[in-house]
Structure 1
Amino acid sequence: MSVVDRIRSLIEPALAPLVVDEVKVTPAGRRRVVRIAVDRATDETVSQSEPTDPMSLDEVAEATRVVSAALDDTDILGEQPYTLEVTSSGVGRPLTRPRHYQRGIGRLVIISRADAPDTRGRILAAGPDDVTISIAATKREPARTETIAYADIAGARIDVEFSRAESDA
């Protein structure tokens, strides 16, 4: 079992109800950087159409305390010093699980499929097997909604908006 897998199995129960999205351990000179991305858990077995609140700074701080205490109580990382970074999963994270789409409800997303051009739309709902997006009208096509199975998605990411037009709400 790798050090990343051992860290994940150590901290996941301690962080519940949060979920561990990612664990990375990278060398940084004489030290190592342990980066852990956490997120709120959602029920991936049901369809959801309401956005999930983002994690607060207090929740991330508490997660950092929990992870730090868990790592300090073991010798998983050995004697080599490390720097711990605990963060919430950012908008740059690829969408790979139903809960990632559930967290993105109301946000713009770009979905890539092997058999079609990229699709840009706003997430309306996300369930265990598929995501429903609203696609804005273009000169050639009227506005529409489309449901896309996760199995058909080659890649997806949130399209960051710096200002949202009221008509696009």
Structure 2
Amino acid sequence: MNERQLIEVIEPVLARHGLELDALDIIPAGKRVLLRVTVDGDGPEGHGPLIDDIAEASRDLSEALDESAATGAGAYTLEVSSRGVNRPLTLPRHWRRNAGHLVRITTTAGETFQGRIVASDDEGVDLLIEPEDPRPGKGTAVERRCAYADITKARVQVEMKRQDKEED
């Protein structure tokens, strides 16, 4: 299977559904090939696509690939999913779509810290760094700007109960 030909089939289908191709993995699996398509998009609230959007795109993508010569004569399995929280934040749009989320960052200087995404642009991200001791009077939150060029690794952290979502 030719990756470039597959992308030429996949991207227009995803675009019709308001989605973007984030990654394409072509994985040999015995006599079959696994086509793992990872998608991203703004979705209705600007924070990523909804599962229904992905399901519709997956059906249309399956039809388009079946009709295309890009998959070759061999059998394949199509897997379509969103980026999820386990994928690193690498592009400005990833940061924008995760505004409000807590992230763990490692910098080029080797520093590692957590912060909440306040805002982002094409050059970097504004974070709110919470004090290590969350008890009242034990420190204050600090705002920090990080250029993307200074970040070597960044991932969204899973929060079971967000502080701004807690009920009084």
Tell whether the structures are fold-level matches, with TM greater than 0.5: yes
Structure 2 counterpart of 1:164: 162
The RMSD of aligned alpha carbons is: 2.2
The residue aligned with 2:9 is 10
Supply the distance in 1 between the matched residues of 2:98 and 2:143 (Cα, whole angstroms).
16
Which whole-Å CA distance do the structure 1 matches of 2:9 and 2:61 have between them? 9
Counterparts of 1:10-49 in structure 2, within 5 Å, are: 10-16=9-15, 17-41=18-42
Separation of aligned partners in 2, 1:14 and 1:96 = 24
State how far apart, in whole Å, the 2-side matches of 1:166 and 1:41 are. 22
The superposition leaves residues 132-169 of structure 1 with CA deviations (integer Å, 9 ceiling, x where unpaired) of 1100023586311111111111111111112223488x
**Residues paired across the two proteins, number:** 160
TM-score (norm 1): 0.85
Paired with 1:29 and 1:71, the residues of 2 have a C-alpha distance of 20
* 2:111 aligned counterpart, secondary structure: strand
Amino acid at match of 1:9: E
**Structure 1 consecutive aligned stretches of length 4 or more whose deviation exceeds 4 Å:** none
Distance 1:167 1:34 in 2: 38
1:132-151 pair list within 5 angstroms: 132-138=126-132, 142-151=140-149
**Larger RCO, structures 1/2 (Cα 8 Å, 6+ apart):** 1
Give the deviation of 1:56 after TM superposition: 1.7
> TM-score by structure 2 length?
0.86
The answer for the alignment partner of 1:90 in structure 2 is 84
Structure 1: any 5+ residue segments left out of the alignment?
43-50
- Note the residue ranges of structure 2 that are not aligned, 5 or more in a row: none
Q: Displacement, 1:6?
A: 2.0
The residue type paired with residue 125 of structure 1 is A
Question: Cα distance, 1:52 vs. partner?
Answer: 2.2
The answer as to whether partners of 1:134 and 1:146 remain within 8 angstroms in 2 is yes
2:101 to 93, 101, 107: 107
User: In the TM superposition, what whole-angstrom CA distance separates every residue of 1:38-85 from its partner, at most 9, and x where no partner exists?
Assistant: 11159xxxxxxxx72332221011110221122111111211111101
How much identity, in percent, do the aligned residues show?
38
Secondary structure, aligned partner of 1:90: coil
